[in-house]
Amino acid sequence: MSFAFVTESFAIAVGLLARTSDGGVAQYSQFTCAAEIIPRGPDLDHTSVGKAETPIVLTIAASDPTGGAGVQADLKVFQAFGVHGLSAITAVTAQNTRGVSGVWPVSAESLIAQLDSLREDILFSVIKIGALGSREAVEVVTDFIAGRDYTVILDPVIRPTSGRELTGVDAVETMMKRLFPLVTLLTPNIPEAEKLLSRKIASFDEMEEAARSLLALGPKGILLKGGHSIVSDTVQDLFVDGTVARENPASTFSSPRLNGDLHGSGCMLSSAIAALLAHGADMLNAIEQAREFVHHARESSVQIGSGQRIAAPISFIPEFVA
């Protein structure tokens, strides 16, 4: 099953499509050099407040001035999948490709105002959560989600690959106690899972044990990412579904390991999953397609500074155009 989504205006902007004289668009394939006429779709009905004809996802995360992670990366990924992205900023950071040097969480009042202003005007059902920055932010977001039927993807960003922590100990404890039970999918990497469980994870069997231990904290599903393991030339991620019987085996996703540190890949993965779910994908297909998306983005990553490379999701868009 393939999810081939890209917004028309964005595709035109990057040269994948061209406007035709009758209002349609011509689609160009870099593989066949052919063009196909696509009829122009209907314009949105702006007389109906809060309703849109495009999927909408809200990201609640910190700002990253490099554009490679955080809210900036989330919005890029949403756009690549033809999803309109909403955003609420939890913290301002000072960082570059070498690491994070400063974190300034926004006030609870500011975060509440951002979230309330969106909800009172716009209908959305999928939320992606990244770095929350403070215990107050965890509490605000928990109260915002509680009692409502949202699909919630939580990337529990605690500490980036380099630099200072983005989420303190008190915030992590509150997140585990209050927010985890409201989450549809939790997407920790191995260091984050080790931090959450206060134990080391040194093998694939221990990954599954850790995923099931995290599941016991309340999320409906766990995607434990194995990219930080040093086991083989293959990266193995593991998905445990808490909505089925415990005897059901975990699902494993594998891909070749690519060399080099990459900034923002975890943000991109969780955002891609959220975007695909907003399009109606089931969880397993969303994870599989999102992993493929991030793998290709890794292959086409760019060096913009002297530290980690930046993933370039836009370069993978042709693969998702039908």
Between CA 223 and CA 237 the distance in angstroms is 7
Are residues 23 and 76 both part of a single domain?
A: no
The two beta strands, 151-154 and 126-129, are: parallel
Task: Assess whether 17 and 81 both reside in one domain.
Answer: no
Angle between helices 135-145 and 108-119 (to 10 degrees): 20
Q: Is 296 inside any structural domain?
A: yes
Looking at the fold, whether 165 and 195 belong to one and the same domain comes out as yes
In a domain, 189, yes or no: yes
List alpha helices for 55-182, DSSP H: 70-80, 108-119, 135-145, 169-174
Domain ranges, residue 18: 8-38
CATH for 200 = 3.40.1190.20
* Residues 251, 296 share a domain: yes
Q: Give a yes or no: residue 249 inside a domain.
A: yes
Count up the domains in the chain and report the number. Answer: 2
Rounded to two decimals, the pTM is 0.82
Does 141 share its domain with 235?
yes
Residues 160 and 90 both lie in one domain? yes
Per-residue pLDDT of the chain (322 residues; tens, 9 = 90+): 444 444 443 343 333 344 444 444 444 333 222 333 333 333 334 334 455 678 999 999 999 999 999 999 999 999 999 999 999 999 999 999 998 999 999 999 999 999 999 999 999 999 999 999 999 999 999 999 999 999 999 999 887 665 667 788 899 999 999 999 999 999 999 999 999 999 999 988 999 999 999 999 999 999 999 876 656 678 899 999 998 867 778 999 988 877 767 788 899 999 999 999 999 999 999 999 999 999 888 888 889 999 989 876 554 443 443 3
Q: How far apart are CA 192 and CA 158, in angstroms?
A: 7
Q: Cβ(6)–Cβ(319) under 8 Å? A: no
**Half-sphere exposure for 252 (CA within 13 Å, toward CB):** 11
Strand pairing category for 251-256 and 234-241: antiparallel
- 41 within 8 A of 52, measured Cβ to Cβ: no
User: Residue 69 corresponds to which tokens in the numbers above?
Assistant: 């992670």
Is residue 49 in some structural domain?
A: no
164 domain-assigned: yes
